[in-house]
Amino acid sequence: MMRLTPISNLMEKPSFLPPFMFGLLFATFGVILSAKYSSITVDQSALLALKSHITHDPHNFLTTNWSTSTSFCSWIGVTCGSKHYRVTALNLSSMDLTGTISSQLGNLSFLAWLDIHQNSFLGSLPIELTNLRRMKYLDFGNNSFNGEIPLWFGCFSKLQTLSLYLNNFIGVIPSTLGNLSKLERLSLGGNQMTGRIPNSLFKCKELKFLSLFNNSLEGSIPTEIENLTLLKTLGLGINHFKGEIPLVIGNLTSLLVLYLDNNKLTGEIPLVIGNLTSLQSLYLSYNKLTGEIPLVIGNLASLQMLYLFNNRLTGEIPLVIGNLTSLRELYLDNNKLTGEILSVIGNLISLTDINLGLNYFTGEIPSTIGNLTIFEAIYISNNNLLGEIPLVIGNLTSLRVLDLYNNKLTGEIPLVIGNLTSLRVLDLSNNKLTVLVCLGIYWNSTS
């Protein structure tokens, strides 16, 4: 008759067991042990393969630290799961590494976070990476990868972050990215992507951050963008987008930052922009926008950056601009704006930089600017400003730049300008100003 024996005893006294039972037990434990052992060595060899594909490690991060005399779970940049000792995260960002990505990286089957941004990895990405089914976070940004963005990126069904910015990727944005239903951040800026934004991308309804800036994307801004209602940042700047700003932009009410600058957009700034009441930064510069600055701009009470320069805007600055008390930078230069520089500018207590240059502004510089003591840069060159430079200019002790070049200012240059010790750029030329110098000789600024 067979006796049941505790396992510890079994090991010590194998002779108590019938030979076939011992064989069975050994087989079972042996398989478990060797499976566990072999999957750990798989991870170690995958990391060593990665290391062997690194051709330059100037700070010796991996060269000295990734040594088999210690457990790979203690290697720099490696994080293992606390129970199974499998690699779950790999972070080699900013190590100045040069090399290619070895295909064995695809064997790190527990890997969920891979961050290698800011290195000099090059070549193309091996398809074996598709084995990494747990992948949630991929940051390959700021490297030198080239070729097309692989279609198989659409296989990472759990992916939340995909960053490929600042590489040399070419071709179209793969439509397979539309399969990434959990995607929250997509960053493809600073590559050489061409063609239109694929419609499938607007199926990624969880997107909060979409940056496609500095590529060669074309077509109009798709109206399907209205589906991305969680977007906080939309970066489409520095591309070849044309047509009008779509009205559906008004649906993106979570937007904090909107970059549509450096495109070929035409038409007027749509009134729906006034619905984006959380907006902090609005960049529409370097387009071909016409019409007036809409009054609804006054609804954007959180606005800090307003870049409308290099367009064809006409009309006057709306009085409601005085509501934007969070505004830090106001750039309206190189348009066709008219009227006076409003005294409500003095309400913009957060303002540090203003550029109204190359317009048709007239009238006097309002003395309310004396309230804006944190002002750092004032550019109002190439307008038709009249009258004298207000003495309150002497209050602007943070001023670094005062550029009033090419206006019709008259009177004496206030001596208080001499107190502005932070001033680095002062251009008052091409005006009708005079300055009293010690010997009583008048210097005429037109001369």
Ligand X SMILES: *[C@@H]1O[C@H](CO)[C@@H](O)[C@H](O)[C@H]1NC(C)=O
* Contact footprint for ligand X (CB under 6 A): 65, 67, 70, 74-76, 91, 93, 113, 115, 137, 226-227, 229, 250-251, 272, 275
- Which one, 271 or 425, has the nearer CB to ligand X? 271
Structure tokens at 272: 């729906």
CB nearer to ligand X: pick between 28 and 229:
229
- Candidates 94, 89, 81, 80; CA nearest to 113 is 89
For ligand X, the closer of residues 141 and 357 by Cβ is 141
Nearer to ligand X, 188 or 330 (CB): 188
Going by C-beta distance under 8 Å and a sequence separation of 6 or more, which residues neighbour residue 376?
A: 352, 353, 398, 399, 400, 401, 422
Quick one: tokens of 65? 């630290």
| Shortest spacing between CB 245 and ligand X, in angstroms | 12
Report d(CA 164, CA 187) in Å as an integer: 6
* Shortest reach from residue 298's CB to ligand X, in Å: 13
Minimum Å distance from CB 404 to ligand X? 39
CB of 46 to ligand X, least distance (A): 18
Q: For ligand X, which is the closer residue by CB, 203 or 328?
A: 203
Q: What is the DSSP string of 315-343?
A: SBPPGGGGG-TT--EEE--SS--BSB--G
CB of 137 to ligand X, least distance (A): 6
Q: What is the 3-state secondary structure (H, E, C) of 66-116?
A: CCCCCCHHHCCCEEECCCCCCEEEEECCCCCCEECCCHHHHHCCCCCEEEC
Tell me how far apart the alpha carbons of residues 110 and 376 are, in angstroms, rounded to a whole number: 51
CB of 114 to ligand X, least distance (A): 8
Q: How far is the CB of 61 from ligand X (least distance, A)?
A: 8
Nearer Cβ to ligand X (75/379): 75
Q: Which residues of 229-251 are buried (b: 16+ CB within 10 A; e: fewer)?
A: eebbbbbbbbbebeeebbebbbb
Closest to ligand X by CB, 112 vs 337, is 112
Nearest residue to the partner ligand X, using Cβ? 250
